[in-house]
Amino acid sequence: MGFQPAQGLVVSAGLEAHDTDWAKPEALLDCYIVWATASNDEGTLPCRGPKGRLNYRMECRIPLQGLVAMSHIYRPIVAAWLLSLLAAPAYAQQGHPALPAQAAAQVDRLLSEEVLRGQTLAPPVDDAAYLRRVSLDIIGEPPTPQEIVAFILDPAPDKRARLVERLLGHPLYGQNWARYWRDVILARRSNDRALDLSGNSAVVYLTEQFNAGRGWDAIVRSILTATGKARTDGSTVLAIAHEGKPEETAAEAARVFLGIQLQCAQCHDHPYDSWMREQFHQLAAYFPRVVLRPLPVEVLPDFEVTSIEKVRGGGRNKAQPEHYMSDLNDPKAKGTLTQPQFFLDDAQEQAGLTDGQRRATLARRTTAPDNPWFAKALVNRVWAELLGRGFYEPIDDLGADRKCAAPQTLDYLTRQFIASGHDLRWLLTTITATAAYQRPGRARSESDKAPFSSVVIQPLRADVLFSALGTALQVDLDQVQQNRRGRQGGPRAQFELAFGYDPSLPRDEVAPSISQALLLMNSPQIARAMRADTQQSPLGRLAAAIKDDDLVVSELYLRTLSREPGSAERATARSHIQETGNRAAALEDILWALVNSAEFRERR
Amino acid sequence: MLLPLLHHAQAAIRPDGGVTRRDFIKGLSAAGLATGTLNFRDAMSLEAAELRKRGMACIVLWMGGGPSQFETFSPLEGHANGGETKAIATSVPGIRIAAQFPELAKTARDIAIIRSMTSKEGNHNRASYLLHSGYLPTPTVKYPSLGAICAHEIADKACELPSYVRIGRTGFVDGGGGFLGVEYDPFVLARGDRVPENSTPLTPVERFRSRQALLARMEAGYAAGGGAAQVADHQKLYQSATRMMLSKQMAAFDLTKESSAIRTAYGEGPFASGCLLARRLVEQGVTFVEVTLGGWDTHADNFTKTKELAGQLDRPMAQLIADLKQRGLLERTLVVWLGEFGRTPKINPRAGRDHYPQAFNVVLSGGGMRGGQVIGRVTRDGMKVDDRPVTVPDLFRTICRSLKIDADREQMTPIGRPIKIVDGGSVVQELFG
């Protein structure tokens, strides 16, 4: 399926270099081209992804001399040369991905063949439920009552697709998924300080990357090759999380980005997978030259991730230029010198590579389109977050020896994702357009008749629950004052401590706790924000503005559960207001009960 | 003759099924006086039955990371593998422990050291799971941890505090109720020296109760509409939380109520507060308390780090045992000291020791066990168990025997497969000799 860009209009082009070693005779360039239209044998196609951009990526090695490569004069020349390459058949074969609507339909078709044969499937959920689901999944916030009403009344037939497009263009999209990945990477940190050091900077960095539409492969490459300061350069989050230690960093990089759990192979051949101890240490050998340097303390302690190329005499904990696999029979011995080698393709590296070269090479091999697990791990994860269960479960445990619930569907989705240039917006648009995603939710404890025959209810992540609480109470909880002094991190961080969980865990291991119940029931900050007896608070203003009890109750339900109350629920509320006698107190009780309900804490 | 008692018993039983001891005894004596049919002996035996129903308790001191046996209870003397650790004599001739534990050396008569623990699991998560539940993790079954099993089998129903409490955070996840359900998950406190957060109701109790009733009515619709499972779990959780927060027993969490002499005796630091809180909770009828002390994963700098940890462990653990003994609680409280594995005899190039499940230590005190003894032996170089190996099922079966739990009792999992509390293993009889 080729195409001819000859009639394409280049809106802008950008170049980015990945290899930071300028002394190399070659540079690896990523080329981003934005097209308005393109044509092929079948005619002119509007190439539209979310926000009207479609990023094409290609890697090419260009013989350049150091600094000359990056000069302003040289860049446009290189860009023009690259554009001319795009017409080449080799590139044309890469093709472009199916438009999300078509891909979604194909996914549904494949699922029905693979796992849903003969099942009677529920129709899609109603608009209010879809709006809430998609808002929580994409931007990590529930919809406001106005948005709910507007969406329900919108007559457009493609309103759901347009809603998704709108949400993906919202800056909170990047922030929501940045927080997700921060939780994933820092949950298994071996350096306890990493949360304090990198927690914020990682979110800032990833928010920027996701909102800019950068491809997942490029983002992962930047994380694997990152250098810089923990508090300002969020891309260093993985190195900070494991203090640059080769074994831990390698194991986590494999688990998080490839879904392959190698860590058992650290000490012995993996007990039940095919990975050998040697392979683990060959992966660790990409990282021995990473070192964390403490920086002089200005306000807060900080560390810099940097490379060390030569061993300096003396001092403990300095990184050696090489990685040695320890001898189990003789732990005091230095061990076997191990060269970096990538466990998935057995490609061997040259000896004596610098840190930049090692990590850049690893980054390329990890994110290569022909790496069977990279894109799959990401697609599996995102699918699992949205549908409530992955093709592979646990979601960070893939591999040839693992069982996949619907291999052809996952393969198709993965191939399209790669073709899109690892475009996360494309993936989210596609998944949210499938019929599978739009089916009603079921409790995790109920077994499903067939995988993906229904969506599984997910517990909200700490950040999302915090935002939902803010919407419910109509208060900006980040600004709420804390009574106790000397608490680190502010209200959101405290909430995250109580409600946070590792997103890589099987979700049925995440259960609400008594401490969480106590917080929602008795937190003074929440109670203050819920008062109805004063015009200073949102509930007080609502009660004063609207005299009709039914309307107030509806508004409270819309703010907390994003839906109108049913008739039984209305009756309960009405009778409670009557029995209590005190309208303000009764409304506080109702809001309290809503915030403490099971439904509030879930994404149905 | 028992009818008047039954009447009083029923009056004393609260809506949620618990019986308060005070009410029962009051009812008892009143009934006896009123009808004249109850003699002193019967009254005492009923009271004893009440006490026996109160049952055993267990305090687990969890050493997260895998504590080195050589730097704690089994110093290796006369071999290079012992490193720089010195040993000292204890109050029991023949038993020597690491020199950094002078306080525990004095309590040697009350502790039993198993030096021949052995397992095959050297991975943190899997080994922690194993040493918490007695089973290795599998994807199909979520095994409940020992604490959940105790809460399920021998919990004191009259106690309004959660029966399974964990103080301190461990790195790994499970240790929860598993297939027994969310009501057997532990109540987790980050620190022992602070009253649990948000445990005071902000409205008068009456209003609080009315809010709860409203919540239940409001959720009925959601439950009927397909959310029954979540709502049921949710309500169980809220009931436990409410029972706890409205209880007078919450005072147990307030360490300032303890005399300053006792508090100083336990020492400083979060682990010390945790141990003191554990004793107070057990006094209130909490069945299982786990107090964690992390940082034992000494792949580097083993000797410095273990000395520091010893400073945090020695006094509190010794004082906990002494305190329990002094209050007459040691017979019915089993104290277990353990981690997920031990550490390598051979010292690595970073002056550290790596994971070593082949031969490690567990220490037990109280719970009807005979202290002042060592079970098992390792070879001179510390590498292998030489005599009387004790596996994890053996240990769990022994713990069940002490706590009067039937280890062979089968429990039904949600997939319909019955699972025994302990799979195999045999009791270490020497501990009860």
- Closest Cβ–Cβ partner in B222, B245, B414 for A599: B222
B244: contact with A, CB 8 A cutoff: yes
* Predicted pLDDT at A120: 87
pLDDT one-digit tens code per residue, A156-166: 999 999 999 99
- Closest Cβ–Cβ partner in A443, A514, A592 for B211: A592
Neighbours of B423 (CB within 10 A): 15
Residue contact A596–B187, C-beta within 8 A: no
pLDDT one-digit tens code per residue, A186-196: 988 888 788 88
Predicted confidence (pLDDT) at residue B427 exceeds the cutoff of 80: yes
* Predicted pLDDT at A489: 63
Residues in chain B within 8 Å Cβ distance of A592: 211, 215
B304: contact with A, CB 8 A cutoff: no
For A369, list phi and psi in degrees, rounded to 5: -60, -25
B205: contact with A, CB 8 A cutoff: no
pLDDT greater at residue B266 or residue A10: B266
Predicted confidence (pLDDT) at residue B68 exceeds the cutoff of 50: yes
Residues in chain B within 8 Å Cβ distance of A509: 142, 173-174, 176
Predicted confidence (pLDDT) at residue B100 exceeds the cutoff of 70: yes
Residue found by looking up tokens 């393709």 in the block: A345
Closest A-chain CA to B228 = A443
pLDDT one-digit tens code per residue, B326-357: 999 999 999 999 999 999 999 988 889 999 99
Residue found by looking up tokens 């007078």 in the block: B248
Q: Between the CA of residue A145 and those of A139, A142, A471, A561, what are the distances in Å?
A: 16, 9, 10, 10
Mean of the per-residue pLDDT values of chain B: 86
* Predicted pLDDT at B17: 40
Can you say whether residue A581 is alpha, beta or left, with left for phi > 0 and alpha for psi between -120 and 50 degrees?
A: left
pLDDT one-digit tens code per residue, B121-134: 988 888 999 999 99
Please identify among residues 159-188 of chain B the ones whose CB lies closer than 8 Å to any CB of chain A.
162, 173-174, 176-177, 182, 185, 187-188
pLDDT greater at residue B18 or residue B194: B194
pLDDT one-digit tens code per residue, A229-246: 999 999 999 999 998 888
Among A114-123, A343-352, B97-106, B317-326, the minimum mean pLDDT is found in A343-352
The ipTM estimated for the assembled molecules is 0.78
Question: How many angstroms away from the CA of A110 is the closest CA of chain B?
Answer: 27
Mean of the per-residue pLDDT values of chain A: 80
Residues in chain B: 433
Torsion of CA A214, A227, A266, B61, to 10 degrees: -100
pLDDT one-digit tens code per residue, A437-446: 999 988 887 7
A107 CB-side CA count, 13 A: 28
* Predicted pLDDT at B400: 95
Among A22-26, B196-200, B288-292, the minimum mean pLDDT is found in A22-26
Please identify among residues 301-330 of chain A the ones whose CB lies closer than 8 Å to any CB of chain B.
316-317, 326, 330
* Predicted pLDDT at A490: 75
pLDDT one-digit tens code per residue, B366-394: 999 999 999 999 999 999 999 999 999 99
pLDDT one-digit tens code per residue, A53-85: 344 444 444 444 433 444 455 555 555 555 554
- Closest Cβ–Cβ partner in A334, A515, A568 for B188: A515
Residue contact B214–A267, C-beta within 8 A: no
* Euclidean distance between CA atoms A162 and A239, whole angstroms: 39
Angle between helices A194-211 and A171-187 (to 10 degrees): 140
B120: contact with A, CB 8 A cutoff: no
Predicted confidence (pLDDT) at residue A497 exceeds the cutoff of 60: yes
For A67-99, give one letter per residue: b (16+ CB within 10 A) or e. Answer: eebeeeebeeebbeebeeebeeeebbebebbbb
Contacts of B308 (CB under 8 A, 6+ apart): none
Predicted confidence (pLDDT) at residue B322 exceeds the cutoff of 80: yes
* Predicted pLDDT at A505: 87
Cβ(A590)–Cβ(A579) below 8 Å = no
CA-based torsion, B80, B81, B84, B85: positive or negative: negative
Predicted confidence (pLDDT) at residue B55 exceeds the cutoff of 90: no
